[in-house]
Chains A and B, each alone.
Chain A
């Protein structure tokens, strides 16, 4: 049975933000209009900009050009507490440009590709008559971990990449076959039995079966110079060269083409799909990343399975940063506003409080996670309750309302809490999605306002797509993604949808949401970003404690 949670989790964060002596219920305050100087990070920006002025020979950052000479800071510029952690950082620290952990999270996705080994082994054995044994596989993996970062094999007089620039690159294999896994050198193995709780490991191994796969992470610096579409090409070239070296093949014979096909297409899992021409991006870019895949990338489910809210909220955080801040906020649009929207979902313990309230309520009513009937009525009861509770907190705690000062922030948080609660309670993502949309309508009805224009479309007509069978209208939520019709333009939604996808499976205690290969691949201890604790890792990034990969300083003069 679930642990009951302390209510009003956000009060601690509000005290950290506004100072512990302020009146929590006060609806009036003195606005001191202290300007940007009240905030350490803004002061740092201004000082740095001054230094740059002489160097650049032109003006740059100057908050006093804002709004005809009225700078930011007419209200209190408050910091943000990363939910579920002790990290308190400035808002600026959560813009992805200022936060290397957020960048690395995205880099870790786009530099990853999963490639099957079995088809290549069959080509080697049946087509070329080569012997494939655990020893040859280990030898291959040693060569591959030399070659994949950008080092030469087979050919003479080749250029190579500096190992210090590409040290994050690695390839490990995994399989559902314990006997084969036992034969693989530990350093090259993602050991499912070791990385996952026993029940999850069994489920994953059963789903993967006797197949074997390579979790390939090309160097971060490569995808930062090129893009996610590069990953399959980079990895395929190095895979082919490594096979040639490890199995003493002829470099030019037709069988190499079979290997190349296997490595590039036949047994390849991209992290995300290509986008259509109007949003033209190659595979392994954020717009094609499904909510279910993101739910599987986040690893909180294997370290905190008993707390499905925590599992879901780490997925929400990853999605808010990736879909809202990076995809919509930069690929699709521009500026700085997207960060402000997105942070509401993973800071100050607000969404946590609303979700724990809802899940406690559901557990009392239905007797545990995933016990509620998978019905519209479940969404109706739970979403109405959670949404009402959340709105009441905004009303009872004026600084909470002030913290989520935009309607889009509140809409996302209220609807996410309603959706996550409904999904955990029922173990069904579509019931969760129904709860999401009901919350949106209730919110609008109560306060006569919702989010920005887009919410009119996406959220007010959204209930019609929850149970639609038509492929351009409906889909299981796990299989929808950032480019799903109606979802392609609105901040404050996609991360939360990923969270609801995750919540259904977290409530059921599933080992994975959609794809066991993704779940295992992102458990690779060689990942740079901490996929098990997304919010803490963002906090580290904001607190300047996180070292990202792909750094070029090794080959540049010191600043």
Chain B
């Protein structure tokens, strides 16, 4: 089919970046070893076997089902992995991703996942080996800046707080720290349990780089509605007005 999904309106860098996140066509900025990703996730020790909640599907004698014939199981589902999660907190100070766009990325690009979206955190759940792959993809890609984004299973407080003086997002549990070499290190897993070694996550983006890659509209970056006294609506606002109006009118059904 020649159809190319358009995903999102707008010609600003925010609109373009939002489309990129949704399409999954993201730039890879770093390569964090799988074992390190697994350690920060904290669900199993790197190298340990996966826990399972049921036998491999092949051994289960599944019923004759047309849907099962159409949809191939993910690796984690086929193996019977338990469902685990990774949860991210993205600073409102120009972190590359924002919760809904992590969810849209997941829902569009990650098979068998369950995204959940809040204001200060965004969670994706999936079979364990699948979520590990999805988490690594997030860590490695331009969706993530290691100073402005961090994995936080609990005590997520920080997305809306001023940054630390060194540009790191505030974290009550101090799960990451800025090293003297300018690299960011993970020192605790996502629920705050200390790691047995520091994990080098690499260098953070510069402020300019973060602003270039961000998906958040802000008045000190790319504004969505112009400024007070000089309003100029992004195409996203026009599209949204349209949807809101149709939803409102649809509800009016006097029959």
Contacts and interface: CB of A to CB of B under 8 A. Distances in A.
B44 interface: no
A152 interface: no
B167 interface: yes
A388 B224 contact: yes
Interface in B116-141: 116-120
A466 B173 contact: no
A225 interface: no
Interface range for A: 35 or more
Interface in B83-115: 92-93, 97-101
Nearest to B194: A68
A398 B218 CA distance: 12
Interface of B: 92-93, 97-101, 116-120, 154-155, 157, 159-165, 167, 170, 172-174, 192-193, 215-220, 223-228, 231, 233, 236-237, 240-241, 243-245, 247-254
B237 A464 contact: no
Contact of A28 (B116, B167, B231, B236): B167
Q: Identify whether the interface residues of A are mostly helix, strand, loop, or mixed.
A: helix
Contact of A448 (B216, B243, B252): B216
Interface string A446-477: 11111111001000010111111110011000
A451 B118 contact: yes
Given A463-B251, A464-B247, A466-B251, 15 more contacts: A28-B165, A29-B164, A68-B193, A74-B172, A391-B224, A401-B161, A405-B120, A408-B119, A441-B243, A441-B244, A448-B216, A461-B247, A463-B247, A463-B248, A467-B252
Contacts of B226: 388
- Ranked nearest first, the 4 interchain pairs of A and B with the lowest CB-CB distance are A407-B119, A448-B98, A464-B251, A467-B252
A70 interface: yes
Interface string A151-164: 00000000000000
A384 interface: yes
A27 interface: yes
Given A380-B241, A441-B240, A442-B237, A402 B162 contact: yes
B231 A67 contact: no
Of A67, A389, A401, A449, which is in contact with the most chain B CB atoms at under 10 Å from its CB? Answer: A449
Contact of B100 (A389, A449, A463, A464): A449
A446 to B, nearest CB: 5
Contact of B173 (A67, A445, A474): A67
Nearest to B250: A464
Given A67-B155, A468-B251, A75 B170 contact: yes
Contacts of A452: 118-119
A406 B170 contact: no
16 contacts: A27-B162, A28-B165, A67-B154, A70-B172, A384-B225, A392-B228, A395-B220, A407-B119, A407-B160, A445-B240, A448-B98, A448-B101, A451-B118, A464-B247, A467-B252, A468-B253
Given A392-B219, A442-B237, A434 B225 contact: no
Among B173, B192, B252, max chain A CB count under 10 A is at B252
The secondary structure that dominates the B interface is loop
Given A388-B231, A445-B237, A447-B217, A467 B170 contact: no
A74 B157 CA distance: 11
Interface string A127-152: 00000000000000000000000000
A23 to B, nearest CB: 10
Given A445-B224, A449-B99, A467 B249 contact: yes
A21 interface: no
Interface in A375-430: 376, 380, 384-385, 388-389, 391-392, 395-396, 398-399, 401-402, 404-408, 410-411
A29 B162 contact: yes
A557 interface: no
Interface of A: 26-31, 67-68, 70, 74-75, 376, 380, 384-385, 388-389, 391-392, 395-396, 398-399, 401-402, 404-408, 410-411, 434, 437-438, 441-442, 444-453, 456, 461, 463-470, 473-474
Contacts of A401: 92, 160-161
Contact of B237 (A29, A384, A437, A465): A384
B190 to A, nearest CB: 13
Nearest to B100: A448
A45 to B, nearest CB: 19
A473 B247 CA distance: 14
Nearest to A411: B119
Contacts of A68: 173, 192-193
A449 B119 contact: yes
A388 B172 contact: no
Contacts of A442: 224, 237, 240
A75 B225 CA distance: 32
Contacts of A466: 248, 251
B119 A469 contact: no
Contacts of B254: 469
Contacts of B245: 376, 380
A67 B175 CA distance: 12
Given A395-B218, A445-B240, A468-B251, A453 B116 contact: yes
A446 B99 CA distance: 12
A75 B159 CA distance: 13
Nearest to B97: A448
A446 B97 CA distance: 12
Contacts of B225: 384, 388, 446
B162 to A, nearest CB: 5
Contacts of B228: 388-389, 392
A448 B248 contact: no
Contacts of A465: 251
A467 to B, nearest CB: 4
Given A30-B165, A441-B244, A449 B251 contact: no
A404 B120 CA distance: 12
A406 B240 contact: no
A27 to B, nearest CB: 6
A526 to B, nearest CB: 43
A399 B254 CA distance: 47
Nearest to B172: A74
